[in-house]
Amino acid sequence: MRRALVSLLVAPLISQAAFAQGGNRPVSAVTRQNMAFGTVIPGVPVTVSWSDPLAAGQVEIRGNRNVQVSVQITLPAAMAGPFGATMPMLFGSADGGYSQTNNAAAATSFDPRSPLVATLSPQGRLFIFLGGTVSPPVTQRAGAYTGTITVTVAYL
Amino acid sequence: MKNILKAAAVLAVLAATARQAQAQASSNVTATANVAAALTATTTQNLAFGTVIPGYNKTVTAASGGIVLFTGGAGAEVTVSFTALPANLTSGANTLPISYTAGTTTTSGGALTSFTPASGTTTTLHATSGELYVHVGGTVSPAAAQASGTYTGTITVQAAYTGN
């Protein structure tokens, strides 16, 4: 009788968790492509569009089928370069795209500065595309610069 | 009964913890850029016609003429333009007509790609050294009664990044 009662109490908890996630796969995020601005000229801003197949950042999210996730993106204000130099990075309201397929042409624009709520595909996929702008002043120190964008996804 | 409730509570916490552990993930996207060096310009050779005979034109080819070396970001595209191309060399009040030819190369002594000086050109700096040599030649046309003397003029050439 005691064993039966424990089962009755625990079963609803497990099924509720399974229902909330639409399955039991862990959610994962994998960077498919980094964001590349190429050669930047001092004084000349450069923008990478999220729809640029070669230069945009791309992240693939995998998880349970047809479930909603929230996507939070941490955007740097600057890239770091040689000898402590920094270069401003700017992100606008249309610098993000998302799609259930790995096809930027079919993606929907979103503001990467705000959390995104989207639904994973029937295959449990969601693709995030990211663009942005670097704005080097005319006195920008020459050299290689990098910045890190963090994409965090969570089941709702 | 207390033990049953405790066990249920523990399992509930474990279930919730397990659910949280697999319900969030993150990935980093690295953004990269390579800032090109600022453009510099150095005159490595002036345009010299030497001795000119009145009534006879004299030409110096671009290949052996004046040379300005620009250095900047490897492989970067630049526009080249002449901002001063005097129509005459001068010696006091006397003038000597001159016309120009021009060419570019990304290696010292390399084959020139010609362009019209007055129109300028768009080209790219050397893919690794970031160098561009701009050559300028010309023809002076002294009159038969050209006054003797030393004639000079200043030619100014500039380069600017296009952003490509």
> What pLDDT, on a 0 to 100 scale, did the predictor assign at position B162?
84
User: Which is nearest to A61 in space by CA: A104, A28, A108?
Assistant: A28
% of chain B beyond a pLDDT of 70: 87
Asked if B14 is an interface residue toward chain A (Cβ–Cβ < 8 A), one would say: no
Asked if B7 is an interface residue toward chain A (Cβ–Cβ < 8 A), one would say: yes
Q: CB-hemisphere CA count at 13 Å for A113?
A: 9
Asked if A36 is an interface residue toward chain B (Cβ–Cβ < 8 A), one would say: yes
Overall average pLDDT of the B32-40 stretch? 91
* Residue B127 pLDDT grade (very low, low, confident, very high; cuts 50, 70, 90): very high
Q: Between residues B46 and B163, which one has the greater pLDDT? A: B46
Asked if B24 is an interface residue toward chain A (Cβ–Cβ < 8 A), one would say: yes
Asked if A75 is an interface residue toward chain B (Cβ–Cβ < 8 A), one would say: no
- Name the region of B158 (left: φ>0; alpha: ψ -120 to 50; beta: rest): beta
**pLDDT beyond 90 at A92:** yes
ipTM of the complex: 0.83
- What distance in Å separates the CA atoms of residue A111 and residue A132, rounded to the nearest whole number? 11
**pLDDT beyond 50 at A43:** yes
**pLDDT beyond 80 at B25:** yes
- What six digits make up the tokens of A130? 């990211």
- What distance in Å separates the CA atoms of residue A117 and residue A68, rounded to the nearest whole number? 7
**Cα dihedral sign for A37, A38, A43, A49?**
negative
- What distance in Å separates the CA atoms of residue B42 and residue B71, rounded to the nearest whole number? 9
Q: Is A109 exposed, middle or buried (0-12, 13-18, 19+ CB in 10 A)?
A: middle
**pLDDT beyond 70 at B14:** no
Q: Which residue of A has its CA nearest to B18?
A: A17
Overall average pLDDT of the A13-21 stretch? 35
**Mutate which: A8, A33, A39, vs B, most B CBs within 10 A:** A39
Model confidence pLDDT, tens digit, residues B46-82: 999 999 999 999 999 999 999 999 999 888 899 999 9
Q: Is B105 helix (H, G, I), strand (E, B) or coil?
A: strand
CA angle A134, A139, A143 (to 5 degrees): 65
- What distance in Å separates the CA atoms of residue A77 and residue A59, rounded to the nearest whole number? 20
* Residue A18 pLDDT grade (very low, low, confident, very high; cuts 50, 70, 90): very low
> What pLDDT, on a 0 to 100 scale, did the predictor assign at position B68?
98
Q: Which residue of B has its CA nearest to A28?
A: B25
For all residues of chain A together, what is the average pLDDT?
87
Asked if B32 is an interface residue toward chain A (Cβ–Cβ < 8 A), one would say: yes
For all residues of chain B together, what is the average pLDDT?
89
Whether residues A145 and B34 touch (CB distance < 8 A) is answered with yes
CB atoms near residue A127 (< 10 Å): 21
* Residue A22 pLDDT grade (very low, low, confident, very high; cuts 50, 70, 90): low
- A59: which chain B residues are within 8 Å (Cβ-Cβ)? 27, 29
Q: Which residue of A has its CA nearest to B11?
A: A10
- B10: which chain A residues are within 8 Å (Cβ-Cβ)? none
Q: Is B4 helix (H, G, I), strand (E, B) or coil?
A: helix
- What distance in Å separates the CA atoms of residue A68 and residue A85, rounded to the nearest whole number? 40
User: Which is nearest to B34 in space by CA: A152, A79, A28, A40?
Assistant: A40
Whether residues A148 and B22 touch (CB distance < 8 A) is answered with no
- What six digits make up the tokens of B48? 């010299």
> What pLDDT, on a 0 to 100 scale, did the predictor assign at position A136?
95
Question: Among A11-15, A32-36, A57-61, A77-81, where is mean pLDDT lowest?
Answer: A11-15
Q: Residues B105, B159: contact at Cβ < 8 Å?
A: no
Q: Residues A127, A101: contact at Cβ < 8 Å?
A: yes
* Residue B158 pLDDT grade (very low, low, confident, very high; cuts 50, 70, 90): very high
**pLDDT beyond 90 at B119:** yes
Q: Report the 3 state secondary structure along chain A.
A: CHHHHHHHHHHHHHHHHHHHHCCCCCCEEEEEECEEEEEECCCCCEEECCCCCCCCEEEEEECCCCCEEEEEEECCCEEECHHHCEEEEECCCCCEEEECCCCHHHCEEECCCCCEEEECCCCCEEEEEECEEECCCCCCCCEEEEEEEEEEEEEC
Q: Find residues 90-129 of chain A whose CB sits inside 8 Å of chain B.
A: none
Model confidence pLDDT, tens digit, residues B76-116: 899 999 999 999 999 999 999 999 999 999 999 999 999 99
* Residue A11 pLDDT grade (very low, low, confident, very high; cuts 50, 70, 90): very low
Q: Which residue of A has its CA nearest to B21?
A: A26
- B21: which chain A residues are within 8 Å (Cβ-Cβ)? 26
Q: Which residue of B has its CA nearest to A26?
A: B22
**pLDDT beyond 50 at A5:** no
- B22: which chain A residues are within 8 Å (Cβ-Cβ)? 25-27
Whether residues A41 and B19 touch (CB distance < 8 A) is answered with no
